[in-house]
Amino acid sequence: MPQHSPAAVIVLAAGAGTRMKSATPKVMHPIAGRSLLHHAITAAAGTGPEHLVVVLRHAREQVASHVESIAGVLDRSVLVADQDDVPGTGRAAECALTQLPEDMDGTVVVTYGDVPLLTTSTLFALVEHHEAQSNAVTVLSANVANPAGYGRIVRDAAGDLERIVEQKDADEAVRAIGEINSGIYAFEASVLRDALARVDTDNAQGEKYLTDVIGIARSGGSRVAALTTDDVWQVEGANDRVQLAQLGRELNRRIVESHMRAGVTVVDPETTWIDSDVVLAPDVTIQPGVQLHGACDIAADAVIGPDTTLSDTEVGEGATVIRTHGSLAVIGAGAAVGPFSYLRPGTELGASGKLGAFVETKNAQIGEGSKVPHLTYVGDATVGEHSNIGASSVFVNYDGVKKQRTTIGSHVRMGSDTMYIAPVTVGDGAYSGAGAVIRDDVPAGALAIKEGRQRNIEGWVEKNRPGSAAAQAAQLAHDTAPESTAADSAAPDRGTSADDADRNKES
């Protein structure tokens, strides 16, 4: 049967959410990489309504800005309505109607900004049931073990919906009912508009209840009904951080399971967290302790983890990423990263490249087949293809005022403990010796070295650290060594540089 889009969807998000005890508005708290409100608007937008309205009050400007950003992501219009001082869900819906055409007809769906597991398919099912039975009102209900706090679905002798009673207005018999009102409805537009004009605040909470529309519609001879969902999680809201965590855990379980059924190997689902917008190709393997946040995109046959956190990162086919933290990075096909690598924004590692143990990169483009195996910082740099950066090297990119850039060519072999004082360029095929400090450009094919003869200052420890364990060990070595050892241990004379001469004068 074809799915029919509602004329409008209203998302109620005006509450203060005081039980969150947070400076952040409740509907902006995130799970699975999206705010609660983002999840709710995404589900609503999926039904393709002509009009989509979000009702706001608490932290209005902050939430309205957030709604605008969500609308941009979804590439659709989202209207904002402001709830006034009159409390209650009925008044919130009434305020939303002011943003809709007065002559609009068709189905109006009302949902909430804090039900992140509600799906588009469930909303479609609600609309379909509502329209197939020509109902004036259809409410989505669920049977729960602990209905405390919810409005109860009261049915008549024939099993049809009679009314909804809020917890504070319910007597003992009604409170014993396990079928609860989700607060999610489908209304015939004209019925909703006319009934809300007749709803008052004469109840225990002094609010204008949306639930009163059901009684008004029924008393006018219109048909009302309840559609029961078997998936209680879809109607669960987040009122505090405990519930937020519970919903987050359940949503993550569903996301992980969905990827597994689509061909992804997840070794330990219990320790794997995957956000809603992550894309995983078939035959990706996720090892234990992995978190994939934001818009990560992982290609086929890649292996992620164990113990890896990636945010908004692209990983190519067949790459491996082990015990790594990365954000806003690109890892090429067949590349190897980790363990204990840190990829900061702007990192691009080419195909078959390598970033090894304790390597940090930032705003660095590293070409195909190039390797930074260990203990190195590469910041604000371009490295060509098939080059190798020696261990313990540092790209010195900051002069205290501004960042500068280093460019390394292709097929370059740089020695360990090399410092690149940016801005500097190393040409194709160049080498450097260990401990080199590259302050000037290195021509293609050249060897850059730091000259200077090693000097040994005999007796320094005994003189400057008398009584220390080191001094005692040195004295013992001297006492037991053959007489020729001291003379033989002197470094060979390779000539004295000007720097050495100056140091000799100082000493």
Q: Which two tokens stand for residue 450?
A: 């730091």
Can you read off the two tokens belonging to residue 410?
């292709």
Was domain 264-448 assigned CATH 3.40.120.10? no
CA 372, CA 383: separation in Å to the nearest integer? Answer: 10
Say if residues 130 and 110 touch (Cβ distance below 8 Å). Answer: no
- Yes or no: say if 337 and 326 are a contact pair by the CB < 8 Å rule: yes
Looking at 227-282, list the stretches that DSSP marks H as alpha helix, in order from N- to C-terminal side: 241-261
- As a whole number of angstroms, the distance between CA 117 and CA 238 comes to 11
- Residue numbering of the annotated binding site for UDP-N-acetyl-alpha-D-glucosamine: 12-15, 26, 83, 88-89, 112-114, 151, 166, 181, 239, 344, 362, 377, 388
**Which of 4, 29, 374, 386 is the catalytic position?**
374
d(CA 473, CA 346): 50
* DSSP alpha helix (H) spans, 78-234: 89-97, 120-132, 172-175, 189-196, 212-219
Task: Report d(CA 397, CA 417) in Å as an integer.
Answer: 16
Quick one: how far is CA 230 from the chain centroid? 30
Amino acid at 215: G
Taking the C-alpha atoms of residue 247 and residue 117, their distance in angstroms, rounded to an integer, is: 8
Instruction: Provide CB contacts within 8 A for 408, sequence distance 6+.
Output: 381, 382, 383, 384, 387, 389, 414, 420, 425, 426
Nearest 10 degrees: CA dihedral of 68, 243, 84, 6?
A: 60
Per-residue pLDDT of the chain (507 residues; tens, 9 = 90+): 457 899 999 999 999 999 999 999 999 999 999 999 999 999 999 999 999 999 999 999 999 999 999 999 999 999 999 999 999 999 999 999 999 999 999 999 999 999 999 999 999 999 999 999 999 999 999 999 999 888 999 999 999 999 899 888 899 999 999 999 999 999 999 999 999 999 998 887 889 999 899 999 999 999 999 999 999 999 999 999 999 999 999 999 999 999 999 999 999 999 999 999 999 999 999 999 999 999 999 999 999 999 999 999 999 999 999 999 999 999 999 999 999 999 999 999 999 999 999 999 999 999 999 999 999 999 999 999 999 999 999 999 998 899 999 999 999 999 999 999 999 999 999 999 999 999 999 999 999 998 888 788 999 999 999 999 999 999 999 989 886 544 454 444 444 444 443 433 333
User: CATH 2.160.10.10: which residues of the chain?
Assistant: 264-448
Token pair for 257 = 């399971």
Structure tokens at 473: 């060990």
How far apart are alpha carbons 190 and 222 in whole angstroms? 12
How far CA 420 is from CA of 280, 398, 430, 435, 439, in Å, comes to 38, 11, 14, 11, 7
Q: Please list, in sequence order, all residues whose beta carbon lies within 8 angstroms of the beta carbon of residue 96, skipping any fewer than 6 positions away.
A: 10, 12, 53, 55, 81
Q: Pick from 417, 427, 424: which is nearest to 399 by CA?
A: 424
Neighbours of 261 (CB within 10 A): 8
Would you call 4 a catalytic residue per the annotation? no
Rounded-to-integer distance, Cα 44 and Cα 192, Å: 19
Give the model's pLDDT for residue 2.
52
Helix (H) or strand (E) holding 498: helix 498-506
Question: Would you say domain 8-235 falls under CATH 3.90.550.10?
Answer: yes
Please, how many CA atoms are within 13 Å of residue 458, restricted to the half-sphere of its CB?
9
CATH 3.90.550.10 residue ranges for the chain: 8-235
Q: Helix 189-196 vs helix 89-97: angle between axes, to the nearest 10 degrees?
A: 120
Task: Provide the pLDDT for residue 501.
Answer: 37
Q: Which residue numbers belong to the known binding site?
A: 12-15, 26, 83, 88-89, 112-114, 151, 166, 181, 239, 344, 362, 377, 388, 391, 397-398, 416, 434
Query: What's the pLDDT at 1?
Result: 41
pLDDT of residue 450: 85
Q: Which residues pair with 112 in a beta bridge?
A: 12
Residue 466 gets which letter from DSSP?
A: T
Give the residues across from 300 on adjacent strands: none
For 308-331, give one letter per residue: b (16+ CB within 10 A) or e. Answer: bbbbbbbbbbbbbbbbbbbbbbbb
Q: Which long-range contacts (CB under 8 A, 24 or more apart) does 392-399 make?
A: 392/416, 392/417, 393/417, 393/418, 393/419, 393/420, 394/418, 394/419, 394/420, 395/364, 395/420, 395/422, 396/420, 396/421, 396/422, 397/422
392-404 exposure pattern, b = at least 16 Cβ within 10 A, e = fewer: bbbbbbeeeeeeb
d(CA 350, CA 45): 38
Locate 80 and state its tokens.
């904002």
DSSP 409-445: -SS-EE-TT-EEESSEEE-TT-EE-TT-EE-S-B-TT
- The b-or-e profile of 442-453 (16+ CB within 10 A means b, else e) is beeeeebeeeee
Where do runs of H (alpha helix) occur along 75-135?
89-97, 120-132
